[in-house]
Structure 1
Amino acid sequence: MDIQGLLERLKPFIIIVLLFSVVFYIRAEASNIGGVPADAKKFYEDADGLPYFSEMDSYYNYRLTMNYLTKGIMGDTLVDGKPYDLHSYYPPGRPVDYPPLIVYVTSAAYRVLNFFGDFSLKEVAFWMGAFIGSLCVIPAYLFVRRITNDYGGFAAALIVGLVPTYVAHTYAGFFDTDMFNFVLPLFVFWFFTEGMLASSMRGKVGYALAAAVSILVFSAAWVGYIFYLAVLIVFVAAYLVISRYILGEKPAGEFEGKLDWLIHQRELFPLLILIIAGGVLVGVFGGFSSLAGAVGGLIGATQIQATAQTTAYPNVYVSVSELQVPEFITTGAGNIFLPGQNTIVGGVGGLLVFIIGVLGVGALVWKYRQPEVVVEESENRPRAGKKSKFMRKKRAAVASEEMRHRYLLYAVLMAVWLIMSGYAVTKGSRFIPTFAMPLGLSAGIFTGFLVEYLRVRFTTTSSLALIVFVAAVAMVMPFGVSVAVKLLAGVLAAGFIYSVKKPEIRAPFMMVLVVLAAVAPSVSGAHSITTSVAPGTDDGMWNSMQWVKKNTSRDTVVMSWWDFGHLFAVAADRPVTFDGGSQNTPRAYWIGKALTTSNETLSRGILTMLSTSGDLAYETLDNYTDDSGKTAEILTATLGLPREEARAVMTGRYGLSDKEADSVLRYSHPAKPKPFVLVLSSDMLGKAPWWTYFGTWDFKKKTGSRYGYYPSLASSKPQVVNNTTVIQTVNTMVDQNNVLGTIIEKKANTTNATIAVGNNMTVQKINPHRLTIIEGDLLVKNEVVDSDAQLSLIVIGSGNQYTTIIMNRELEDSVFTKLFLLGGFNQTSFKFLHQEPGVLLWTAA
C-alpha cells in the first residue's frame, strides 16, 4: 500500500479539517463568556446553564425557528396565505418577509441531532453560528490553493475565517444570518472560477451550475447576494477588456458558428449559465419579484446615510453603529498592526493583513509579467528525438501560458472585488466584512507566492536563519508576550535551522513560520474577541419577562426602547411595539418622548396610544395636517389630557373639525385601551443620548438634543477624613487623566455632594443643578443647589455602599428618572409591577 501517495491525496482534506478545527475552537471559546467575572457567570446563564444569546436579533431568529418547528410556518399565523408575525410591531404586527435559510438550516440540524441525543432548540441555535461561520475555510483554502499552493490556501483560510468583524458575529451564542455571509459567496466565487478554468465542457457547465445553486442558497440568507453577482459581471467585463483589448490576447481556435464561439468563451459562457440558471432558480424558489427587490436593495445599500436622515421623523438607523461610516485606521500607533472592529484596517484584520492583501493583487500581476519558463529535459534521462523534445517544450509553453492566464484572471477578479467592496465600506461599517473577504484571500495569495519565492531565493543557512528569526518574532508578537519571549522564539527558530542540515526539512520549516507570522494577528484578534464575550442579557431581564408571561393577560403589550424587543417577544410571549425590525419608524420618536418628557400624563398617553392603536393616530392626523411636525405638536399637546379636553384643544387651538378630531381621538384616546408593561433597565442609562435625541426631535431643524446619564463605575465605601465622612465615586473616565466623578461629604446631620471634574493633579468641585440623596428607602434631600449648573446629581446609599448618577439637568424630571432612578417618587401616572436586578416593570396607574 502506497502510504505516501495516500497521504498526498488526503492532504487537502486533512488541512481542511485542521483549519475548521482551529477556527471553530476559537469561536467556541465564546461559550465560556470570558467577559463576565467568574462569580457572576450564573447570572448570565439560563436555567439549563447555557449562556444567553449575545445580541437580540438572535432571539428573533430563534422565535421564527421555533414557530417553524411547531407550526410549519415562521410566523404566528397566516394572513392571505402568507406567514404573519403578531408579536412584532404590535399592533398590527407585520409580514414575515425574512430570509428563511437560517430557519431551514437550524430546523434541519435540530431534527438530525435529536436522532442521536436530546438537544434543545436553544442549544442548537447557540452553536449554529460558530459551525456555519467556520465552514468558510473550505472555499477560501480551495480558492487560493488553486492559484498558489497549500501554504497560501492555509493562510487565506485562517485570515478569512478569523476576520474580526466576521468572528464578532459568528461565535457561539451569536445566532444571526451573518453566519452565511462568508461561506456562501466564497463558494460562489470558487465554483465560478473553477468553471472558467475547467478544460472540459462538462466541467464548465457543472461548476457554473454549482455557482448558480450557491447563489440560490445565498438568496435565501441575505438579499445582498446580488452584490456578488454584480462583482462577477463587472469582473468578466473588465477581464475581457483588459485581456483582449489592452493586452491584445485573442482566444485560440476556429469556430463553426456563434453557438460554438460562445461555448468556447471561457469567461462569458460560465457567466451566462450562472445568470440564466441562477435567475431561474431564484425566481422559481423565491419569486421573480424578489430579483427586482434584490437589485433595488443593492442600489438602496449605497444610500444608507441619506435614507437615514431625510425622513420627517428621526430614524434609529443613525444610532446603529454598523451603519456609521468607519474611520480608515486607528490613531494609536501602537495598535495599527492589530485587529479591531472600529476602523476599516482594524476590521479586516490589522495593518499587516491590509498591506499584504493589497500586495496580493500586485503579486498576481508580477507573476503574469514573468518571462515564459520552458522545462528542459533532465540530463539523467535518455535523450529523446528532436520531435519528442520539441513536443515537451511546446507543452511546457502551453502550461506556462495557461498559468499566465490564471494569474491575470485572479488579478482582475481580486482588483474588481476589492474596489467594489471597498466602495461599499464608505457607506457603513457593516460592509467591512464584505471588504475583508477578498482582502483576506488576496493576503493568502501573497503569502503563498512569498514563501515559494523565499524557498527558491534563500537557501543558505544564514539567510534562512534570519528569515525564521524574524518570522518567529512576528508570530508571537500579537499575543502580548514580553520582549524576552519574542527574542527567545526567534533564537530557537534560528537555532533549529543551524541544527538541521536537510533542505527538505529546513525549507518547509521556514515556509510554515512565515505563514504563521502572516496569520498570527488574525488568530490573536479573533481569540481576544471570543474570550471577552458577555451575553446580551441576564437573569434580571429574562426573569422579568417570565414574570410578565405568568402574571399578565395575553393581550398585554410590552414596551421599551427597541433593543430588547425581540427578547421580550420570546421570554414573555407577548407582543411588543418596538424592536430591531422597526427601527426606522415614527415609534422611535414617540417612545423616546415618553421616556424623556417630564409630563407623566403625556408619557402614559403616548404608551396607551401605541399599545392600543399603534401608528393610526398620527397617520390619521397626518391626513389633515399634511405636516408630521404639526401632527407631533398636536398630539404632544393632547395625549396627556382627558378625551374631552383633548378634543377641545384639537378643534379650538388647532382648527380641526369635529369629525376630524373624533377620527383622531378614536386612536389617540382609545375607549378600550390595551394593558401594557413598560420595561426600564439599567442598560438604558448608557443609551440615553440616543433615546433623548429622538425624543427631543425638532421637526423644523431635523435634529434633536442628546442628554446623558453618567453612573458611577462602581459603588464606594465611606472613609473618615478629618472628622468628615467622605465618599468618592468615579463616574466617567474621559481619558487616562481626566475624570468626571463625585465627592460626598457627611458631617454631623448634613450631607452635601459635589461633582468633581479634573485630573490626577487638580480637581474642581462643581455644584449640581439639583441634588437628590436617597439613603435606603428614604429621600434625604431633593433640592436645587445651583440654578445655573448644567449637571444634576443623584446619590443612592444602601448599607455602607454608595453609587451616584450624574446627568444633564434636562433629565432630572424625566419620566425615566422618576420611574427607574427614583422608584416612582412623587408621580401618580404609573403603577409599579415588579423588580429584578437592573430591571423595573411599570404599567398605567
Structure 2
Amino acid sequence: MSEHEGESKREKDEPFIILGGSAKEGKEEKKESHKKSDSEEYVIDLSLTKKLFEGKHKKLFWKVAVYVLLLIILLLAAQLRLIPIDTYPEGAPLASADPWWQYRHAREIYEQGYPGTDIKIVDGKPLYWDYLHDAPTGGPAPKEFYIYFVGYSYRYIGQYFFPTLLEYIKFTPILFAVLATLSMFLLVRELFGAKSALMAAFLFGISAPFLQRTVVGHADTDAIIGFFTLFTLFLFFRAWKKKSFLWAGAAGISLGLFGFTWPGGYTATAIILVLGAFIYYALRLLETTLFSEGPLSEIKWYYLTLIFVTVFAELILFMKVGLTRVLLYGGAFLFIISAIIPLVILLVKGRSKFRELLIEEWRGFAVLAIFLGIGLVMVAIIISPLHANLLRSFEGFLQLRSIQRAALVPGGDVIRNVLLTVAEFNPTDPRIITFSTHIAVYILAAFSLFALPIWLYKNIKGEKSHFAMYVVPFILLWVGSTYFASLNAVRFIENFSMPMVILASVLIGTGDYLSVFNLKKSWHTISTVVLAILVIFVLVGVPNISPVKGANQIGAPYVQGAIGLAERAGGGEAPNWLDFFKWARENTPKGTIFASWWDPGHAFTALAERPTVADGSQNHNHVHDLALMFTLNNSGDVDLALKLMEKYNISYFYTSSDLIGKYGAISFLGTGKAENYEMLAVDKTQVAQSGGGDLLIPYPFDIQTESGKVPTVIILNLKNNGTDADVVWRIADSPARKIARFYFNTPDGKLQYRESNLTNETIDMMFYVLPGYGNAYFLQKHIETNLLTRLHIFEGRGLEDYFEKVKDFGGEIKVFKVKYDKLK
C-alpha cells in the first residue's frame, strides 16, 4: 500500500477537523491536540465556503438568492396592500363605485351560475340580462373573466377559507397584484436578466399608479389587467426567444383570457407586439439589402437619407397637424420606404437572399401567427368578432380623445359623452404624468437609455440578435403608446408605469453589459457599488416633483411615497350611505326604481338591491335625462322633470351633498354650460362687532373681470343675538349693495328667510348661510331655482304637490317619493 493510499483510508475511516489549515489525524494526534495551550490561536479554513462562489456552486447560490429576494419583494407588495384593511366599515369592505359592480355580478355567478338578474331572449337567442342597472329596460349583463373567476373560485375553494364572498373578493386585488409583480419579474428576466428583473419587480410592486388601485378592498379589474398584460408578454417573448410553438400557444391562450378580462383595451398589447414585429422585419430586410453586398448596398446612403428626411417630415407634421395623422399617413409612408421597397428589391434582385431570410425567419412568423390566431379566435367566440378586430381597435386608439369628446345626437337633442365628466378619463399633461409615475422612475430610465445601446450591441454581436432587434423597438413603442394614452385619459398612467418601470430597470444590469469593453474585474466591482448607491439614493432620497408648476409643495421619495399612499388608501362607503342602502332594501318592494346622479349606482344596486336609472355603466341617454332633471329651473319645468321621471317609472328620487360639488359636470351634460355652486368660506380673522353690538361676518372672494381679479366681500350682519340679519355685497371700493334673497339659521336652529325689493341697489341673487356660519352658498337665480337646490337645500319646500320627502340620512342624503297625480 502506498503512502497516499494509506492517507485515503484514514480519511474514510476516521473523522477529521480542519484547524489552522492542517488535519489532526489519529487518536494520538487528538490527545496531543488537547494538550495544546488554551492560548493557541485557531483559524477556520474558508476554502470550502469559497467553493460556494465558484463554478456551479456560484450559479446555485445566485439562483437561491434571486428567489429569496423575489419572495421578499412579493411579500412586500402584499403587505403594502394590506395596510388599509381596517379602514373599511363593517359589512362594506370594498372601495366605492366599481368594486361593487364586480361584487354584485360575482355574487350572481356564485348563486345562480350566470351574471345578471334574468335570461332574456333576444333575436331568438338567450342573453344574460341585468334589470338592476339602466332601469327600467335594463341591459346585457357583463362578460368579464374577473367576475367568473371570483364567483367560481369562491364556490370551489374560497368558501373554505373565507366566511362570505364579500370577504373573499376583498382580498383578490392583492392576489392579482402579487401575480402581476411576479409576471413583471418573469418578463424582465426574459428580456434583460435576473438583476434587472428583481429591480423591475420591486419598482412595479410599489408603483403608485398601480398600488393605489390594487389595495385590499379595491376589487376592480386593475390588478388582473396588470397581471394579464405582463403575463401575456412574458409568454410571448419566451416563445419568440425559443421560437417555440408551444409557448406561442400558451401566450395566445393568455391573450384570449386577457380579452375576456378587458374587451375594450386588451388589443393594445397585441397591436404593440404586431407593430414591434413590423419594425423587426423591416430591420431584417434593411440588414439583408443594405449590408453584406445586398441589392441596395451601392445606394444605401441615399436610401438612409430618404428615411431620415421622412422621419424629420413626420416630426414637422406632428408639430403642425397632430399625432393621429402622423401615425396614420407618415408612419405608413415610412414603413413603405423602409420595408416594402427592400422587400420588392429582394424579390426582384436577391431571391436567394430572400429565401435564406425566409428560412431563417419563418418560425418567428409562425410564433406570431399562432399567438394572434389563438387569442383573437378566443375573443371572437367568448365576446364577439367585433372585439377581435385589431384594425378597428387601432383606429379607435388613435382617435381616443375625439371619441371621448364626441356628442351623440339622437332625435335632435345633443347627448354629450359622459366620459367628458369622468375624472379618470380626463386628459392630462406631462407634469401630472411625471408626478404620478414619480420623477425617480424618469431618472433611472434616463440612465438606462445609456445602458440600452450597450445591451443591444452585446446581443446583436452574440446569438440573440433576432431577440434584441425585437425587444428594443417593442419597449419604445410601449412607452410611446401608453404615454399618448395617458395624455388623453389620466387612468392610462397606470399602463404607462409598466414599460417605464422596465426601462428604468435596464440600468441595474449595466455591470453585466460592461463586459463588451473588456474592462478589468475591479472596474466591474466599482461600477456595481456606484450603481447600487445611485439607485438607492434615487429611490429613497430624491423627492417627487410638484404636480403644479411653481408650487412649493413636493412629494415624498419613491419608497416613502408608496408607504404613505398605502396608509391613505381605503375608506369605503360612509355610514349615511350604508344606512340609506339598508333602508331602501328593507322598506321598498323589489323592482322599485330609484334615481339620482350615476356615481353611487354600483354600490346602490349591490347593497340596496334595487334598480337604478343610471350607474357607473354610464348610459349616455339616461345620464342626459338625469342631468335635465337636476338642472330644470322654473315652475313650468317641474312638469317636464316629472315627465322625464315618468318615462323611467321612477318611484324615489334622492339627492346627496356631493352633488353640489359635481354640479359643473351635471350642468355641462344637461345644458352644455358647466356651472358650479359658489361656496364661500368665512374669514374668521375679520369677524367683528359693530358699534351697536351686531356681529359682522365677512365672506371674501375674488371675481374675474376683463381687467383681472377684483377682491370682493359679502358681509352678514347678525342682529338681536342672531335672530335677525341682513347681508350686503361690497365690490372693491364701490358702495355696498343688498342681496335680494338670503337664508340663515338662528342659534336655536330655525331657518330664516329675508327678501329685499329689486332696485338698482339690489343684486338679484341668493345668499344661503349654512348652520354655524362657516360656509355659505352664493347662487345665481337659475341655480337657486333648479331642482337640485329646491330638493336638497330647501328640502322640497314649494314642491309638495310633486315630491314627498320620506327620509333624511344625516342631512347628506335626502329621499323623495315622486308623485305623478298632479302632472299636467
TM-score band w.r.t. shorter chain: 0.7 to 0.9
| Residue 222 (structure 1) aligned with residue 262 (structure 2) | yes
The structural deviation recorded for 1:810 is 2.8
The structural deviation recorded for 1:142 is 2.2
| Residue 815 (structure 1) aligned with residue 784 (structure 2) | no
Q: Which residue of 2 aligns with 1:303?
A: 399
Q: Which residue of 2 aligns with 1:840?
A: 814
| Residue 142 (structure 1) aligned with residue 238 (structure 2) | no
Q: Which residue of 1 aligns with 2:84?
A: 30
| Residue 770 (structure 1) aligned with residue 765 (structure 2) | no
For the residue of structure 2 that corresponds to 1:135, the secondary structure is helix
For the residue of structure 2 that corresponds to 1:824, the secondary structure is coil
Q: Which residue of 2 aligns with 1:71?
A: 112
| CA–CA distance in structure 1, aligned partners of residues 524 and 366 of structure 2 | 48
The structural deviation recorded for 1:477 is 2.5
Q: How does 1:47-126 map to 2 (within 5 A)?
A: 48=91, 51=93, 53-80=94-121, 81-96=126-141, 98-126=142-170
Q: Which residue of 1 aligns with 2:630?
A: 595
Q: How does 1:326-725 map to 2 (within 5 A)?
A: 326-329=428-431, 343-347=432-436, 349-357=437-445, 360-361=448-449, 363-369=451-457, 401-449=462-510, 473-478=537-542, 521-533=557-569, 535=571, 537-585=573-621, 587-599=622-634, 602-603=637-638, 605-607=640-642, 609-610=644-645, 612-614=646-648, 674=649, 676-695=651-670, 697=671, 703-710=672-679, 712=681, 723-725=693-695
For the residue of structure 2 that corresponds to 1:136, the secondary structure is helix
The structural deviation recorded for 1:678 is 1.1
Letter in 1 for 2:178: S
Q: Which residue of 1 aligns with 2:796?
A: 824
For the residue of structure 1 that corresponds to 2:771, the secondary structure is strand
Letter in 1 for 2:482: S
Q: Does the 8 A contact of 1:158 with 1:523 survive in 2? A: no
C-alpha change, 1:742 and 1:552, in structure 2 (3 Å) is: farther
C-alpha change, 1:25 and 1:756, in structure 2 (3 Å) is: farther
Q: Give a deviation string over 1:572-601, Cα, whole Å, max 9, x none.
A: 21111111113422x333212211223356
Q: Which residue of 2 aligns with 1:276?
A: 373
| CA–CA distance in structure 2, aligned partners of residues 56 and 326 of structure 1 | 22
For the residue of structure 2 that corresponds to 1:89, the secondary structure is coil
The structural deviation recorded for 1:793 is 1.9
Q: How does 1:197-216 map to 2 (within 5 A)?
A: 197-198=241-242, 204-216=244-256
Letter in 2 for 1:14: V
C-alpha change, 1:92 and 1:460, in structure 2 (3 Å) is: closer
Q: Give a deviation string over 1:392-443, Cα, whole Å, max 9, x none.
A: xxxxxxx951255544332122122223333333432232222221121111
C-alpha change, 1:269 and 1:456, in structure 2 (3 Å) is: farther
Q: Give a deviation string over 1:506-527, Cα, whole Å, max 9, x none.
A: xxxxxxxxxxxxx994433333
The structural deviation recorded for 1:752 is 3.1
The structural deviation recorded for 1:836 is 0.8
| CA–CA distance in structure 1, aligned partners of residues 639 and 78 of structure 2 | 48
For the residue of structure 1 that corresponds to 2:806, the secondary structure is strand
Q: Does the 8 A contact of 1:64 with 1:75 survive in 2? A: yes
| CA–CA distance in structure 1, aligned partners of residues 665 and 456 of structure 2 | 53
| Residue 233 (structure 1) aligned with residue 274 (structure 2) | yes
Letter in 2 for 1:681: S
For the residue of structure 1 that corresponds to 2:610, the secondary structure is coil
2:228 to 184, 187, 198: 184
Q: Does the 8 A contact of 1:594 with 1:604 survive in 2? A: no
For the residue of structure 1 that corresponds to 2:617, the secondary structure is coil
Q: Does the 8 A contact of 1:458 with 1:464 survive in 2? A: no
The structural deviation recorded for 1:135 is 1.8
Q: Give a deviation string over 1:619-667, Cα, whole Å, max 9, x none.
A: xxxxxxxxxxxxxxxxxxxxxxxxxxxxxxxxxxxxxxxxxxxxxxxxx
Letter in 2 for 1:29: I
C-alpha change, 1:432 and 1:819, in structure 2 (3 Å) is: same
Structure 2: which 5+ residue stretches go unaligned? 1-47, 295-350, 409-413, 545-554, 820-824
| CA–CA distance in structure 2, aligned partners of residues 246 and 460 of structure 1 | 33
For the residue of structure 1 that corresponds to 2:261, the secondary structure is coil
Which of 439-448 and 768-777 deviates more? 768-777
| Residue 783 (structure 1) aligned with residue 752 (structure 2) | no
Q: Does the 8 A contact of 2:85 with 2:570 survive in 1? A: no
For the residue of structure 2 that corresponds to 1:771, the secondary structure is strand
Q: Which residue of 1 aligns with 2:417?
A: 315
TM-score (norm 2): 0.72
Structural RMSD (CA): 4.1
The structural deviation recorded for 1:266 is 5.0
Q: Does the 8 A contact of 2:190 with 2:234 survive in 1? A: no
The structural deviation recorded for 1:369 is 3.2
C-alpha change, 1:470 and 1:270, in structure 2 (3 Å) is: closer
Q: Does the 8 A contact of 1:770 with 1:786 survive in 2? A: no
Q: Which residue of 2 aligns with 1:647?
A: none
Letter in 2 for 1:274: F
| CA–CA distance in structure 1, aligned partners of residues 449 and 475 of structure 2 | 7
Letter in 1 for 2:398: T
Q: Which residue of 2 aligns with 1:154?
A: 198
C-alpha change, 1:731 and 1:132, in structure 2 (3 Å) is: farther
The structural deviation recorded for 1:146 is 3.3
C-alpha change, 1:704 and 1:445, in structure 2 (3 Å) is: same
| CA–CA distance in structure 2, aligned partners of residues 465 and 473 of structure 1 | 12
Which of 168-177 and 260-269 deviates more? 260-269
Structure 1: which 5+ residue stretches go unaligned? 34-43, 330-342, 373-398, 481-518, 615-673, 698-702
Q: Does the 8 A contact of 2:215 with 2:569 survive in 1? A: no
Q: How many residues matched?
A: 672
C-alpha change, 1:234 and 1:469, in structure 2 (3 Å) is: closer
The structural deviation recorded for 1:64 is 0.7
The structural deviation recorded for 1:243 is 3.5
Letter in 2 for 1:82: L
C-alpha change, 1:364 and 1:477, in structure 2 (3 Å) is: closer
| CA–CA distance in structure 1, aligned partners of residues 765 and 508 of structure 2 | 55
| CA–CA distance in structure 1, aligned partners of residues 501 and 572 of structure 2 | 29
| CA–CA distance in structure 2, aligned partners of residues 450 and 713 of structure 1 | 61
Letter in 1 for 2:724: T
Q: Which residue of 2 aligns with 1:507?
A: none
Letter in 2 for 1:84: W
Q: Does the 8 A contact of 1:724 with 1:747 survive in 2? A: yes
Q: Does the 8 A contact of 1:712 with 1:803 survive in 2? A: yes
Q: Which residue of 2 aligns with 1:516?
A: none
Q: Does the 8 A contact of 1:32 with 1:531 survive in 2? A: no
Letter in 1 for 2:369: L
1:14 to 68, 88, 104: 68
Q: Once the two structures are aligned, what percentage of the paired residues are identical? A: 18
Which of 774-783 and 130-139 deviates more? 774-783
The structural deviation recorded for 1:233 is 1.0
For the residue of structure 1 that corresponds to 2:430, the secondary structure is coil
Letter in 1 for 2:452: L
